[in-house]
Amino acid sequence: MTDDSILDSRYSWTRLGITLGIALVGNVGMWAIIVIMPAVQREFGVDRADASMPYTMTMVGFALGNLLIGRAVDRFGITTALIGAAVTLGSGFALAAASGSIIVLCMMQFVVGFGTAASFGPLIADISHWFYRRRGVAVAITASGNYLSGAIWPLVLSGILNDFGWRTAYLVLAALALALMIPLAMLLRRRLPDEAAAHAQRMSAANARSVSFSPRALQIMLGIAGIGCCIAMSMPQVHIVAYCVDLGYGPAVGAEMLSLMLMGGVVSRLLSGFLADRLGGVITLLIGSMLQCIALFLYLPFDGMVPLYIVSLIFGLSQGGIVPSYAVIVREYLPPKEAGARVGFVIMATIVGMALGGWMSGFIYDLTGSYRMAFLNGIAWNVLNIGIMSLLLFRSRPRRDAVAAVRQW
C-alpha cells in the first residue's frame, strides 16, 4: 500500500469521525467544573478565588496530561492511552462527586484534567499522521471537538444541575466516560505504517520560515505569548456563568452564553485552519488575538442579557483559532524533528495561561467586587501577546533551504 492510498483515504476520514466523537465526550472534563462553580461556591461557603481553584487544578492536570499521555501514545499507541485516560476520567468524576471539601475537590479535578488531556493534544497528534493534503482541516476538526464539547455539555449539565445537583451530574459523567470512550478507542487500534512519515518531511520543507532568534529564544517567546493570550481567553470562558449569576440572570443563562461562545469558537477554529494554510500561522494568530482583544473591550460597556449573548458570540468567533495556530508556527519556524517536544511545550504554556487566568480573575473579583478589573487584566495580557506576535511577524523571512525545496518541486 502506498502513502497516497493510506493518507487522506476513506479510512482516514472514518478515523477522523471516531476521533471527533472521542473528543466530544472526553473534553467534558474541561468544561463541567465551570458549570458547577456557583453551586460549589454556595455549598462549601468559599469566596470566588477559592471556587475558581478546582478549575485551575483541572487545567494543571490537563497540561501535565498532554505532556505525559502524549509520550504514552508514542510508546503504547492511542487506543491504550485513551482507555487508561477513560478510566482516569471516570474515577476522577466519581471521586469528585464524593468530595467533602473544596481541597478534596481540587485534588480530584486534577485527576479529571489529567484524564481529559488524552482527548486534546494526543488525539490531534494521532490524526495528523493520517492526512497529508487535508491535514490542516483534519487537525482543525479534531481541535474543534474541545469547543463542541464545551458547547453541548453545559446545556446538558445545567438541566441535571438544576434538578439533581452537581454531584449527580458528575456521577452521570463518570458513567458516560467509561461507557462511550472505551468502545470508541477500540476502533482506533489500527497503526500507521512507517512509510507515511515521509510526507511530513516534504510538507515542513515547503512551509519552513526563519527568524533572527535562536530556537530556544523563539520557544520561550511563544510560551510567553501563549500564557498571555490564554489568561485573556480564560476570563469570559471560566467566569461567564458566575458573571451571569452575579447579574441576576442565573446559571442556565450563563451556560447558554458559554455554549454560544464555544460554538463560535468552533467556526473560528475551522476557518483558521484554512487561513493558516494561506497566510501562515503568525498572521492567523495575530488576527485572532487582535479580534479577541476587541471582543474583551466589548464586555466592559454591556451587561444586559441580549448584549452579553451577542458579545459572547463575537468573542467565540474571534479567539477559536488562536491555540491551534501555535502548532502551525512551530512547524513553520522550528526543525521538524523537534516538533513534538516544542509543540507540547507551547500548548502546555497556553494551558498554564488558562489555569492562571481562571484563578487570577476570581482573585481580582474578590479584591474589587466586580469583574471589570478582571476584564482589563485580560486585555493587558492580550496586548502582550499581540506585541510578541507582531515582533515575530516583522522579524520573519522564508528559509533559504525551504525556497530551494519549493523551486525543486
Contact 293, 386 (CB under 8 A): yes
Of these ranges, 20-34, 85-99, 227-241, 335-349, the one predicted with the greatest mean pLDDT is 85-99
User: If you average pLDDT over every residue of the chain, what do you get?
Assistant: 84
Q: Are 166 and 41 in contact (CB under 8 A)?
A: no
* CATH class of the structural domain 1-192: mainly alpha
pLDDT at 409: 36
Secondary-structure class of domain 198-409 per CATH = mainly alpha
pLDDT band at 199 (very low <50, low <70, confident <90, very high): low
Query: Tens of pLDDT along 282-306?
Result: 899 999 999 999 999 999 998 889 9
Number of Cβ within 10 Å of residue 406's Cβ equals: 13
pLDDT of residue 387: 95
- What would the mean pLDDT of 47-70 be, rounded to a whole number? 84
CA–CA separation, 298 vs 310, rounded Å? 10
In this structure, the number of other CB atoms found within 10 A of the CB of residue 252 comes to 18
| Residue 301: φ, ψ to 5° | -85, -10
> Mapped to the 3 state alphabet, what secondary structure does the chain carry?
CCHHHHCCCHHHHHHHHHHHHHHHHHCHHHHHHHHHHHHHHHHHCCCHHHHHHHHHHHHHHHHHHHHHHHHHHHHHCHHHHHHHHHHHHHHHHHHHHCCCCHHHHHHHHHHHHHHHHHHCHHHHHHHHCCCCCCHHHHHHHHHHHHHHHHHHHHHHHHHHHHHHCHHHHHHHHHHHHHHHHHHHHHCCCCCCCHHHHHHHHHHHHHHCEEECCCHHHHHHHHHHHHHHHHHHHHHHHHHHHHHHHHCCCCHHHHHHHHHHHHHHHHHHHHHHHHHHHHHCHHHHHHHHHHHHHHHHHHHCCCCCHHHHHHHHHHHHHHHCCHHHHHHHHHHHHCCHHHHHHHHHHHHHHHHHHHHHHHHHHHHHHHHHCCCHHHHHHHHHHHHHHHHHHHHHHHCEEECHHHHHHHHHC
Structure pTM?
A: 0.76
Q: What are φ and ψ of residue 51, in 5° steps?
A: -65, -20
Quick one: average pLDDT of 119-135?
Answer: 79
Tell me if 115 sits within 8 A of 85, measured CB to CB.
yes
Percent of the chain with pLDDT over 90: 34
Q: Where in the chain is the domain with CATH 1.20.1250.20?
A: 1-192, 198-409
Q: 89 and 26 in contact (C-beta within 8 Å)?
A: yes
| 83 pLDDT higher than 80 | yes
Name residue 386's amino acid: I
pLDDT digits (tens, 9 = 90+) for 250-280: 888 888 888 888 889 889 988 888 888 778 8
CA 239 centroid distance within chain: 16
Higher-scoring residue by pLDDT: 177, 320: 177
Phi (first) and psi of residue 235, to 5 degrees = -55, -60
pLDDT above 70: percentage of residues in the chain:
89
Q: Name the residue with cell 533551504.
A: 401
Q: How confident is the model at residue 121 (pLDDT cuts 50, 70, 90)?
A: confident
Name the more confident of 402 and 331.
Answer: 331
405: Cα within 13 Å, side-chain hemisphere: 14
Is 406's pLDDT higher than 50? no
